[in-house]
Structure 1
Amino acid sequence: MGIETALPDRKGKVFCELPKKTNSRSKRSRRRQRKVFRVQKLYETCKEVFSSCGAGIVPPPGDVEKLASVLNSMKLEDVGLNPEMSCFRTEAPDEAPKITYLHLYECEKFSIGIFCLPPSGVIPLHNHPGMTVFSKLLFGSMHIKSYDWAVGSPCNPSANANPSQIQHPGVQLAKVKVDADFTAPCNSSILYPADGGNMHRFTALTACAVLDVLGPPYSDPEGRDCTYYFDFPFTNFSVDGVSVPEEEREGYAWLQEREKLEDFAVVGAVYNGPMIVEC
């Protein structure tokens, strides 16, 4: 699904030769150039930020801030989308809404893509092993719920519970990181390999689009496959040696891996926005 079409070489000549008074076509041309610049700037910033990173390696704080700043400036029109497109409409009211994925770029260091969700569309709870992930809501409203593995879960390196103590195989303790509604325009959310809400679920309150940057991308051969989860209230299960004060239990949940996702459909579509030029 990669799109690697080169752009014409403009080198700023159009801007130099524009008269003071421009017609509507010239204005549209300048707007198109700004869109290309923003997508290209995102790619170039990702290339710089993730150049020395890999699985489990988080970019320095300054680089995280730099990439977040680029994403925060991006809008729906910068990637050639508008809210009237069919991918933002529910086609069959009696079926789970289909999610559309647009692939912009991927290399071994990072990937860039867009999820387009119709109203009530859901991206189920899933993880991002060894990744630093930036998610920018381009338009619309969505609910995000995210978790990190809690102390007391075998997935947490600092856990104080032995895996053999778990009475329900595949169920592990997680702490709620985010449980809130978000409406564009808003800043990017950032999650890290071990914190920041590495496992999250997106639920579209309205039609919406999310621009995702993953560093590094998913890779089955390298052990970075995507795992999906059910989440259950803390009171549903118990583990010897793990206790949470009663007043804090709403901030915890048990996560259990899911094998099948009958109610989740993602369809790929061609990205028709401004192209990224590799450099």
Structure 2
Amino acid sequence: MPTTSPVQRLFDTCREVFAAGGAGIVPLPEDVERVKAALDGMQLDDVGLRPDTPYFHIMAAERSPIVARLRLHECDQFSIVIFCLPASSVIPLHNHPGMTVFSKLLYGTMHIKSYDWMADGASGTAVLSNPQIHPSGARLAKVKVNSEFTAPCETSILYPANGGNMHCFTAVTACAVLDVLGPPYSDSEGRHCTYYRDFPFTSFSVDGASSSSSSSSSSVPEEEREGYAWLQEKPEDFTVVRVPYEGPRIRTDN
């Protein structure tokens, strides 16, 4: 009997876990663990890639690195994609509205910075009593992750309202990340990918005064300020090259 490939096992698991899913619906904890377990052991060669794959070295005319996107599967319930990032390339800070997302670093070293929105009425530290949305349109967020990761490492998981729903990937070396999104982006259903600029907490006033003299800002302990930032929407300026997936075939008819 032929051995089931890791990619096929991942697809089969996702099809079961996300069968009744939808925007904002988080799988049961045991189902989250099932998807995570399917991803945790996966390696670069399981998806038909090698360190010398040209996708890790795509350059534009001006010699800037370009990210490659390989789509393994996409349906209304979930999508499975791989991003190949040349060294120093960046997937800008962006959101995942209503989605549960699993990210497995397959190769290389990547810096990940992620944020969650501060909820209105949150409490527990001085900054949280301040307004959550600035007149400029920037919105207050809390840093969830700001670290480097090197493969092999555990799968990271983000949720619709926590876990680092907005994140940015920066390739320290050439790297590859396998993402499972449930459900996927859908403009027709209002799940748009929005990009952001992030600004230090002290960049904006939180009480109408300048950031340097804001009494509310100065009331936040210095050691806490790095844990918060203002995120402001920006136009999409991300270049990605869509390339064919040539790894093990996924059977969708069984």
Q: TM-score per shorter chain, which class?
A: 0.7 to 0.9
Equivalent of 1:174 in 131, 141, 155: 141
Q: CA deviation at 1:53?
A: 1.6
Q: 1:100 to 1:90 in 2, by over 3 A?
A: closer
Paired residue for 1:43?
11
Paired residue for 1:67?
35
Secondary structure of 2:226's match?
helix
Cα contact 2:78–2:180 (8 A) shared by 1:
yes
Q: In the alignment, residue 276 of structure 1 is paired with which amino acid?
A: I
Q: CA deviation at 1:93?
A: 8.8
C-alpha distance in 1, partners of 2:121/2:115? Answer: 12
C-alpha distance in 2, partners of 1:166/1:82? Answer: 46
Cα contact 1:153–1:173 (8 A) shared by 2:
no
Cα contact 2:194–2:236 (8 A) shared by 1:
no
C-alpha distance in 2, partners of 1:162/1:235? Answer: 14
Q: CA deviation at 1:205?
A: 0.5
Whichever of the two has the greater Rg, that structure is 1
Which segments of 5 or more consecutive residues in structure 1 lack a partner in the other structure? 1-11, 13-32
1:274 aligns with 2:241: no
Cα contact 1:139–1:208 (8 A) shared by 2:
yes
C-alpha distance in 2, partners of 1:240/1:130? Answer: 31
Secondary structure of 2:187's match?
coil
Q: In the alignment, residue 110 of structure 1 is paired with which amino acid?
A: F
Paired residue for 1:249?
225
Cα contact 1:152–1:173 (8 A) shared by 2:
no
Secondary structure of 1:54's match?
coil
Paired residue for 1:259?
235
* Superposition CA RMSD, Å: 2.2
Secondary structure of 1:235's match?
helix
1:224 aligns with 2:191: yes
Question: What pairs up with 1:155-174 in 2 under 5 angstroms?
Answer: 166-168=134-136, 170-174=137-141
Q: Deviations over 1:93-123 (max 9, x none)?
A: 9543100000110111000010000000100
Paired residue for 2:46?
78
> What number of residue pairs does the alignment pair up?
239
Cα contact 1:90–1:119 (8 A) shared by 2:
no
Q: CA deviation at 1:89?
A: 1.4
Question: What pairs up with 1:145-164 in 2 under 5 angstroms?
Answer: 145-152=113-120
Q: Deviations over 1:134-169 (max 9, x none)?
A: 000001000000000013599xxxx87667x7321x
Secondary structure of 1:113's match?
strand
Q: CA deviation at 1:92?
A: 5.2
C-alpha distance in 2, partners of 1:226/1:78? Answer: 28
Between 264-273 and 212-221, the greater mean CA deviation after superposition: 264-273
TM-score by length of 2: 0.88
Question: What pairs up with 1:116-131 in 2 under 5 angstroms?
Answer: 116-131=84-99
Cα contact 2:131–2:206 (8 A) shared by 1:
no
Secondary structure of 1:221's match?
helix
C-alpha distance in 1, partners of 2:23/2:130? Answer: 26
TM-score by length of 1: 0.80
Which segments of 5 or more consecutive residues in structure 2 lack a partner in the other structure? 123-127, 209-215
Between 101-110 and 237-246, the greater mean CA deviation after superposition: 237-246
1:54 aligns with 2:28: no
Q: 1:67 to 1:97 in 2, by over 3 A?
A: same
Cα contact 1:152–1:161 (8 A) shared by 2:
no
C-alpha distance in 2, partners of 1:103/1:153? Answer: 40
Cα contact 2:134–2:206 (8 A) shared by 1:
yes
Q: In the alignment, residue 200 of structure 2 is paired with which amino acid?
A: P
C-alpha distance in 2, partners of 1:72/1:59? Answer: 18
